[in-house]
Structure 1
Amino acid sequence: MKHKVLKKQNVGRRCIVCGTDNDLGLKTSFYELENGELLAVCNTKDWHQSYPGRVHGGISAALLDETIGRAISINDETIWGVTVSLEIKYKKPVPTDQQIKIVGRITKENRKLFEGSGEIILENGDIAATATGKYMKMPISQITDEELEGDEWINTEDELPDYIEF
């Protein structure tokens, strides 16, 4: 199914999930979709493995956590999600050297907290893992003492596709 892309979210330079300058990172891109979901696109590599040819479960967890946690920023880019709890169900192995898609959405929210869910989708459309999580809503100034502007938090919107299929 095709989904209209509204915006590409910024990424960090050193983040393990989205960092453009992290040689061992996942270099994941995040797209805000017309249906209110967040879609992450990641190309897994051999160095993300646990068993040969299989992405480590902790890497899958990080991708799901980041995607669900970022989904809150769709409606307010000044709010970030800080993980309170995360439950993952692994259904199929995630292969290395494959493009995977991760979908995240908000399922419930109040003034201080939100809950979300997500899935890792393989190239063939199979769901490899699902997750549900609870997050605190926080501005970046309460999460870190460092600024996330300028050189660390970058916009890569020049690569924005009109539609993404999954």
Structure 2
Amino acid sequence: MTRSTVTTPPPGADKPEAHLHAPPPGSKLGSHYSRCFGCGDDHPTGLHLDARTPDGVTVEAEFTVGEAHQGAPGLAHGGVLAAAMDEVIGMSIWLFRKPYVTGRLETDYLMPVPVGTTLHLRAWCNGISGRKAYLEAEGRLGAPDGPVAVRAAALFIEVRMEHFATHGDAQAIAAEHHDYEVNP
């Protein structure tokens, strides 16, 4: 994958290190919101990513392509695959315990992903510079060492938690993140 200069860390970018309060290696990562399309258990047609961190800075997850995720008959929709890449990348940046949003997502589709296939996802951060984080992910067919079907590179931008209350549902945020104070 040839990354654009937008998703390539600049010289001198900080190399990510596990946050003091990051989940310990081997930990499962829960949903950040129960109705999230990517990781929420309560989304009826969501991806329901089952994720964990092997080392506190990388995320690994599985996603099984279902009937609701197809584009062409019997094949995963490209937008759904991009959503899976965005979600696993977002989970990896959340390990650093700061809120980020997707600024840019570049996705390369290398081979079709049939319905019923389990896609093994892995995401990592290549560097952080100021409020910008530079990340990558890959999705492999059938096994963690299977052929790469989809790759992504992303630029995520750090925001304040107020961003989500201002542009989203403040009450839902408060219900899911009890440490977040909602201003009426």
TM-score (norm 2): 0.73
Query: Structure 1: which 5+ residue stretches go unaligned?
Result: 154-166
Name the structure, 1 or 2, with higher relative contact order (CA <8 Å, separation 6+). 1
CA distance in 2, matches of 1:28, 1:128: 17
| Mapped pair 1:30 → 2:51 | yes
In structure 2, do the counterparts of structure 1 residues 29 and 80 end up closer, same or farther at CA, with 3 Å as the change threshold? farther
| Mapped pair 1:58 → 2:83 | no
What is the Cα-based RMSD across aligned positions, in Å?
2.1
Letter matched to residue 28 of structure 2: K
| Mapped pair 1:111 → 2:130 | yes
In structure 2, do the counterparts of structure 1 residues 28 and 80 end up closer, same or farther at CA, with 3 Å as the change threshold? same
> How many residues get paired?
148
CA distance in 2, matches of 1:9, 1:59: 21
Letter matched to residue 147 of structure 2: D
| Mapped pair 1:127 → 2:148 | yes
CA distance in 1, matches of 2:150, 2:34: 27
Does structure 2 conserve the Cα–Cα contact (< 8 Å) formed by 1:93 and 1:128?
yes
Does structure 2 conserve the Cα–Cα contact (< 8 Å) formed by 1:44 and 1:96?
yes
Does structure 2 conserve the Cα–Cα contact (< 8 Å) formed by 1:18 and 1:26?
yes
Q: Could you list the structure 1 runs, at least 4 aligned residues long, displaced by more than 3 angstroms after superposition.
A: 147-150
Equivalent residue for 2:182?
none
Q: More strand per residue: 1 or 2? A: 1
Query: Structure 2: which 5+ residue stretches go unaligned?
Result: 1-23, 178-184
More moved, 49-58 vs 135-144 = 135-144
Equivalent residue for 1:40?
61
Does structure 1 conserve the Cα–Cα contact (< 8 Å) formed by 2:26 and 2:52?
yes
| Mapped pair 1:9 → 2:29 | yes
Letter matched to residue 122 of structure 1: L
